[in-house]
Amino acid sequence: MLREAVIKGSFYPKNKQEIITQLKTFFSKVKKTSKKTNYFISPHAGTIYSGQTASYSYSLMQKPETVVILSPNHTGYGEKISVYPEGTWVTPLRETEIDKKAVEKITELNSKAKKDEIAHLQEHSIEIQLIFLQYLFKEFKIVPITLMTENSEELEKLAETLIETEKILGKKFSVIASSDFTHFLSSKKAKENDFKAIKLIKKMNVKGFHELVKNERLSICGHSAIEVLMQYCKKKGIKKAELIDYSNSGKTTGDNSSVVAYASIGFFE
């Protein structure tokens, strides 16, 4: 099973050399740091808008073995917890293999997690992460998981399933939550809303984050993915999260009256 690139030429450049040139420029602007983690939040808008912030997330990363990429479901198609079954994903950079053993175990252990390709066929929020991974690393596998559930119990169970799968298979996952932050408010209001949420993420307050998003109807599209990542990190004893970079689309468009915001947040032991 081959999952073709569906957003090349729209969300990111259409050919290999253009992608490499763009990403090289992004990474050249990132300040070097000794901090490393393979657990982070990264945005998924078009790379001309969010690519610089995403590069801050990926600059933290060490060579991965299997990368679990958690994303929101923007299309409404497929299962509530949709795990891409098998095969490879292709971008103009190359093909990347699905970790079939991990998929089998995750879906065996968790009845809510279903093998499903439908949710992934037109979903952009994992593909955008893949080009960063392929640019930086040669050998790794992925487990794409798209979420259409906001149920806290189901999200916590998925985090537990990932940890149990690691133990059974003797693997160490890297886990990425693919998410943009506030959508279509002024840059001032977006930052105000986002920093309420980021404050709770930094405190690893999963319940508070969930309730804030729900009660204030925040437009953080990957909030369920963030919640799974937070639960996963907490259960592994990772107690610290740090905001690495924050930006919005107004920096590219010049229009601060209605922006989409982006955050790079790392989780550190």
Q: For the segment 77-110, what is each residue's pLDDT rounded down to a tens digit?
A: 999 999 999 999 999 999 999 999 999 999 999 9
Average pLDDT over all residues of the chain: 97
Q: What is the pLDDT of residue 259?
A: 98
pLDDT at 33 over 90: no
Answer left, alpha or beta for residue 114, where phi above 0 means left and psi between -120 and 50 means alpha.
beta
Q: What is the pLDDT of residue 269?
A: 86
Q: How do the domains of the chain map onto residue ranges?
A: 36-268
Q: How far apart are CA 112 and CA 159, in angstroms?
A: 12
Question: What confidence category does residue 39 fall into, taking pLDDT thresholds of 50, 70 and 90?
Answer: very high
Q: For the segment 6-26, what is each residue's pLDDT rounded down to a tens digit?
A: 999 999 999 999 999 999 999
Mean pLDDT of 133-152: 97
The answer as to CATH 3.40.830.10 being correct for domain 36-268 is yes
Helical ranges in the chain per DSSP H: 16-28, 47-58, 100-109, 127-136, 152-169, 187-202, 206-215, 223-235, 250-253
pLDDT at 31 over 90: no
Q: What is the pLDDT of residue 183?
A: 98
- Cα separation values, 206 from 20, 51, 153, 266, Å: 36, 27, 12, 15
pLDDT at 34 over 90: no
Q: For the segment 210-264, what is each residue's pLDDT rounded down to a tens digit?
A: 999 999 999 999 999 999 999 999 999 998 999 999 999 999 999 999 999 999 9
pTM of the model: 0.97
Mean pLDDT of 60-70: 97
Closest CA to 269 of 39, 10, 19: 39
